[in-house]
Amino acid sequence: MDIQHEQGIVEKVLLGGEGLIASKQGSVLLPDVIEQEHVDYRITGKRRGMLRGTTLDIQQKSPHRVVPPCPVAQTCGGCALQHISREHQARIKSSWVHDNFASLLDENSLFIPVQTEVVSGGESGSQSVGQAGRRRLRWFIDHKNNTLGFYQRQSQYVVHTTYCPAITTSLDHLRQSLEHHFDVLPKVIQSIQAINLSNGIHLILESEQAQPASFTAPELAHDFPIQWWWRISNTPSLKAINKPAISLYDHIDLQPYNHQVLPIHISANDFIQGNQQGNQTLIQQILAWTKGDKFVVDLFAGCGNLSLPIAAAHGAKIQSAELHAHSVQAANHNAQRLKLDATYHKLDLFADFELETFVAADTLIIDPPRKGAKRLCTQMQRLFPKKIIMVNCDPAAGARDAKVLHQAGFRLKSLRALDLFPFAGHVESLSLWVAR
């Protein structure tokens, strides 16, 4: 393709964080721009069926443009929106949710946009000014320079920075400490995964080879306990490096329903939401919508992040299902340890399954993976829930499923946009449905 030099006005910022601009060749996607900016750009190629470009100059800048807090924001693939003020990020992400669900909103529907206080950082009850608070990540290793970082956009070149505002301060300090100990880390390590929980950090060293017999976990200058693990790449099995393994927990605040802090045990293989404060806000909204419920069904339940707090706060009976055996085991273990009336079943929710256990819930929660759960949504007239709560990490897929719920006789009562990945081009949609 011939390289083209163009000028134009950015129409809008799309889900994912790229700006859309019209050219003679067709629509072009540009990184690091904001709607209504006048830009000089160059078309560089085509990817996934769309023309892509790079910005050469911004002739007229948006009033919402800010200096990115990260020195490598324009090259690192970890963030897409650092050049936009936090308040305007919230407006953009709110529009992604609202616009996808617009046809299903009526005059009685409540829409709650992204709240900027949720976008702020913080970890384990503290606020960190300037930090976005991402607590789950994977660093890649540059052995030539003895550094950790994220991949550059559309490449596998490792971008290093001395400061990462996207993650928790604990993880950023841990990265620095790891870089100081590169001489004792095995050269066969390709990447390091870290999960920052309330009382410590899971640190997973990933390699295509087994752990060297001579390697032991180094002592790091760090405030939090660290549980070290070794994983052979592309396998779920983990080997504890420091023994006995430390039990780590995600603490969920159940106020104002009671004064309990619920400690959910999280292993290194369990999924957790990427932002602790955002996850707390998600759970608080679901607790508000399920107040008074006696029987709640949680489908795509993971390790019980959404339903265990309902059982603890409201005393509700929980019946849940999840595909991954490890998550089901973890959820049942947590329920038994916390003495909660919650049972988790291993089921493929994308296939046919016996519905009887999950019929007639006061609330049915659907928290599917990115592709959504259209097939499950077609079963609502056989499941007969009084209310449905749907959580979607892709508003477009969520809106497709929402149309199925609408056709099944449910009305969209409330829709909320949640920013669980500040600085990233992602947003969560949380919707409440009631029978018409």
Q: pLDDT 10s per residue in the chain (436 long)?
A: 445 588 999 999 999 999 999 988 899 999 999 999 999 999 998 888 889 999 999 999 999 999 999 989 988 988 999 999 999 999 999 999 999 999 999 999 999 999 876 545 544 433 344 578 999 999 999 988 889 999 998 788 999 988 899 999 999 999 999 998 888 899 999 999 999 999 999 999 999 999 999 999 988 877 789 999 999 988 888 999 999 999 999 999 999 998 789 999 999 999 999 999 999 999 999 999 999 999 999 999 999 999 999 999 999 999 999 999 999 999 999 999 999 999 999 999 999 899 999 999 999 999 999 899 999 999 999 999 999 999 999 999 999 999 999 999 999 999 999 999 889 999 999 999 999 8
Asked if 212 and 323 sit in the same domain, the reply is no
Structural domain boundaries, residue 227: 136-240
Q: Specify the pLDDT at position 95.
A: 98
Asked if 32 and 92 sit in the same domain, the reply is no
Last residue of a domain, one of 225, 240, 255: 240
Asked if 99 and 163 sit in the same domain, the reply is no
Q: Specify the pLDDT at position 429.
A: 97
In a domain, residue 259? The reply is no
Task: Quote the number of domains for the chain.
Answer: 3
pTM for the full predicted model: 0.93
Q: Specify the pLDDT at position 307.
A: 98
CATH for 52: 2.40.50.140
In a domain, residue 24? The reply is yes
Yes or no: say if 398 and 95 are a contact pair by the CB < 8 Å rule. Answer: no
Asked if 277 and 192 sit in the same domain, the reply is no
Asked if 305 and 396 sit in the same domain, the reply is yes
In a domain, residue 90? The reply is yes
Yes or no: say if 420 and 282 are a contact pair by the CB < 8 Å rule. Answer: yes
In a domain, residue 335? The reply is yes
Asked if 152 and 186 sit in the same domain, the reply is yes
Q: What gap in Å lies between CA 333 and CA 320, rounded to an integer?
A: 14
Q: What gap in Å lies between CA 235 and CA 180, rounded to an integer?
A: 28
CA atoms within 13 A on the CB side of 233: 11
Q: Specify the pLDDT at position 2.
A: 47
Asked if 365 and 282 sit in the same domain, the reply is yes
Asked if 153 and 119 sit in the same domain, the reply is no
**How many other C-beta atoms are found inside a 10 Å radius of the C-beta of residue 200?**
19
Backbone phi and psi for residue 39, each to the nearest 5 degrees, phi listed first: -130, 150
Asked if 280 and 423 sit in the same domain, the reply is yes
In a domain, residue 352? The reply is yes
Tell me how many degrees the CA angle 291-294-296 measures, rounded to the nearest 5.
85
Q: Specify the pLDDT at position 373.
A: 92
- Nearest one of 58, 152, 138, 92 to 423, comparing CA atoms: 92
What are the tokens at 276? Answer: 């602790």
In a domain, residue 265? The reply is no
What are the tokens at 420? Answer: 């669980």
In a domain, residue 260? The reply is no
Q: What gap in Å lies between CA 142 and CA 392, rounded to an integer?
A: 34
Q: What gap in Å lies between CA 388 and CA 300, rounded to an integer?
A: 14
Q: List Cβ<8 Å contacts ≥24 apart for 324-329.
A: 326/236, 326/267, 326/269, 326/270, 327/270, 327/271, 327/301, 327/302, 327/303
In a domain, residue 212? The reply is yes
Yes or no: say if 205 and 182 are a contact pair by the CB < 8 Å rule. Answer: no
